[in-house]
Amino acid sequence: MSGKTFFFSIILLFFAIPTSTCWGLVTSSGPFLPIPVQKQYDAKKATLGNKLFHDARLSKDNQIACHNCHINQLNGVDSRPKAIGPDNHIANYNTPSLYNSTLLYKLFWEGKESDINKALTYHIEDPTIMSGKWPDILGVLSNDVVISNDFKHSFKDGLTGPNVIDVLLNYLASLDYAPSRFDAYLKGNLTAISTEEKAGLKKFMDLGCHLCHQGKLLGGNLIMPLGVIFPYPENPNKKKYRVPSLRNVTKTGPYFHDGSIASLEDAVKIMAKYQTGNDIKENEVNSLILFLKTLESKLVKGEDDAP
């Protein structure tokens, strides 16, 4: 990466991230942090949240459940370019994985929310996503004896809108990826990744990819323009989007905010060119993908283990 490109990227990074977060990412491991062992959550509430995550009664006319787009067997995505909501409405954006979402600093592709409770409420209420109405949701769930009793046993005030969000949040907290081979490497196991994968990591660093893809999730905490160095043809005004996490990126295509890129190879080439100013060769693409494979892992636990 040229000196000019590196300087420009550093300036963008500095202005794009809050100071407190920025300095928090500087560790002895460089810009990366090992993913934490599974976070604490209420198992009983998570079980109830799992039921509601798969329950279409949270949506308009019982058409769609959270699981319709965030499919556990597909690593929390739906493999479609764009999500499909009630009445077959095609969303503007590709479905991101919800795994490790409680670690995200920014939520939604535009990064418009940092509070995951508010984000969950928005997903249920938004007409293009689930179009749920709380009076309808609470009415139908209160008539479900099992669900109603579950809430009475979990909350003093029983079934309420905030408590529905609470159990969903506990369920999301249970959907954490286990540490990957790269995490083992960060913790000092130098044989956890191969010589070829280490070369891919070096290329990742040399290109400056780590300036945006850093922290615990290798992404998820910055809002950056698509087309940093060169204007991206599909985003001439350099609209900003959340930098996605790279964990299990090898399994969660199609790629980009609009799901317009089918293959990881093409996504890597485009990112290298428009974000860092480098036209990389096939062997470099392959090297980078070898590194990205070290980020693969399964869910920590649970019957919904993704393949």
202 and 94 part of one domain: no
Residue 37 reports pLDDT greater than 80 = no
Residue 241 lies in a domain: yes
150 and 61 part of one domain: yes
Q: How far apart are CA 136 and CA 123, in angstroms?
A: 16
For residue range 145-166, what is the model confidence (pLDDT) as tens digits? 999 999 999 999 999 999 999 9
Q: How far apart are CA 288 and CA 198, in angstroms?
A: 9
DSSP class of residue 95?
A: P
288 and 201 part of one domain: yes
pLDDT recorded at residue 39: 74
Domain end residue (candidates: 174, 204, 223): 174
- Structural domain of 141: 43-174
For residue range 112-150, what is the model confidence (pLDDT) as tens digits? 999 999 999 999 999 999 999 999 999 999 999 999 999
Domain end residue (candidates: 174, 197, 220): 174
DSSP for 215-234, written as a single string: BTTTSSS-EEES-SSS-BTT
145 and 97 part of one domain: yes
Residue 74 lies in a domain: yes
Domain end residue (candidates: 135, 154, 174): 174
User: What single letter denotes the amino acid at residue 78?
Assistant: D
49 and 141 part of one domain: yes
